[in-house]
Amino acid sequence: MASKVLYVINGFMRGGAEQGLLTILDNGFMKDADFRVFAFMKGNGALYDALCQRIGSDRVTIVSDAPKLTLPSLLIGTLRLFGMVLAWRPKVAILSLKQANIAGRFVLLFFPGIWCVGFEHIAQLEAGKLKRVYEGLLKRLSGRVDEVWADCESTLVETRAYYTPKAGRIETVIPLFIRPAAARTKADYVLGSPVRLMAVGRLIARKRYDLVLEAMARLIEKGRDLTLSIFGEGPEQAHLERLATELGISDRVAFRGFVKDWWSIAADHDIFVNPSDEEGFCIVAAEALMTGLPSVCTLVGGLKDYLEPERNGLAMARGDLDGLENGLARLLQDDALRERLGTAAAADMARLYSQTAMRERLLSVSKRLCGVAETPGIVRRASSDALARLD
């Protein structure tokens, strides 16, 4: 009989954790398990529809059709999750993203026989009214977690701050990125006019698109002919549009919105920029490097695993406008540097994140996890005192 595995996630926003679930499912993750997904909100309809096509709509439970996660839907969802776990009795529960981890861990306190996996995607919580509350709950409930997954080594190390020590807890790195076989690499590093910059990701404050606009404005003032395409959507778009207008570069900046498989046209651009203050694995940076785009990025999160400064990309410090401007200036004036960095980046990503290597890893993790869950006594011994940990 196939192991019952429940995957609990906040919802289906267009982000790395959500898109990554589809990626790993497409590459053999839990292919022999009785796999179901529980989400607190629907988010973007496209990702929800894609998931239903993968595993069947009867295996996907959505609490709210709302595009954003709210506290009421989280609370109502916690009650519904309890009912689902009680009725279905999965062997394994994988909790992805912070709010899903809080709700899922609380529910699983009442089901000590279920193996609990906390899937971490970013080290730092977003700033907000509930940040301290979430931090406290995550650490308080961390004793219920039997196994921790992270999308990169840096996330795994840094999120240990949210966990109390537990003997025998397993830790595993599972990147949510696999190089597509159809990826096209850049063949020509000769700059045209204008030079085409690109940035990709959700339009939120920590991505620091403001630095890209300011660095671009400085370089244009110094005589460089530049355009910028920003691929993504989010709450910061209106602010960024105003900033581009204030800087006098609005006619050179295109907000392209969400573009599926944007990497298929990445090679048509000249330089990729990612000045984020914080990242998890950062799928978009990995995709840019796999196409051979010369890049300037902050060395945070998963970028530490695959971006090697001065060998396959350029690095800047967090919030360093001068560093970003200087990095762009170097790439703009040095043809050989662009080609050397881009060529090395494409080769590294093909080696590190090939479909063959990543599928083997996913199948191995799936087999081990289902095997652990099916071994009598292991789960009970791992979490039989779960309720006592809240005292």
| Cβ(248)–Cβ(217) below 8 Å | yes
Q: Where are the chain's structural domains?
A: 4-178+355-390, 195-352
* pLDDT at residue 124, as a whole number: 67
Question: Would you call 309 helix, strand, or coil by DSSP?
Answer: strand
* pLDDT at residue 383, as a whole number: 34
* pLDDT at residue 319, as a whole number: 95
* pLDDT at residue 372, as a whole number: 62
Which amino acid is it at 382? Answer: A
Cα separation of 149 and 46, whole Å?
A: 26
From first to last of its 391 residues, what are the pLDDT tens digits of the chain?
678 999 999 988 766 677 888 888 988 899 889 999 999 998 776 788 889 999 999 999 999 887 788 888 899 999 999 999 999 999 999 999 888 999 999 999 999 999 999 999 877 665 556 677 878 889 999 999 999 999 888 889 888 988 999 988 999 888 888 888 888 899 899 998 999 999 999 999 999 999 999 999 999 999 999 999 999 999 999 999 999 999 999 999 999 998 888 999 999 999 999 999 999 889 999 999 999 999 999 999 889 999 999 999 999 999 999 999 999 999 999 999 999 999 999 999 998 888 888 888 888 888 888 876 444 333 333 333 333 333 3
Q: How far is CA 327 from the centre of its chain?
A: 25
Pick from 316, 283, 282, 278: nearest CA to 297: 316
Which residues are bridge partners to 42 per DSSP?
none
Class of domain 4-178+355-390: alpha beta
Give the fold, CATH level 3, of 195-352. Answer: Rossmann fold (3.40.50)
**C-alpha dist (Å) from residue 221 to 224, 248, 249, 278:** 7, 10, 10, 29
| Cβ(36)–Cβ(127) below 8 Å | no
Pick from 189, 342, 213, 194: nearest CA to 275: 213
Neighbouring residues of 284: CB distance < 8 A, sequence distance ≥ 6: 16, 200, 201, 274
**C-alpha dist (Å) from residue 49 to 12, 43, 365:** 10, 11, 26
Neighbouring residues of 238: CB distance < 8 A, sequence distance ≥ 6: none
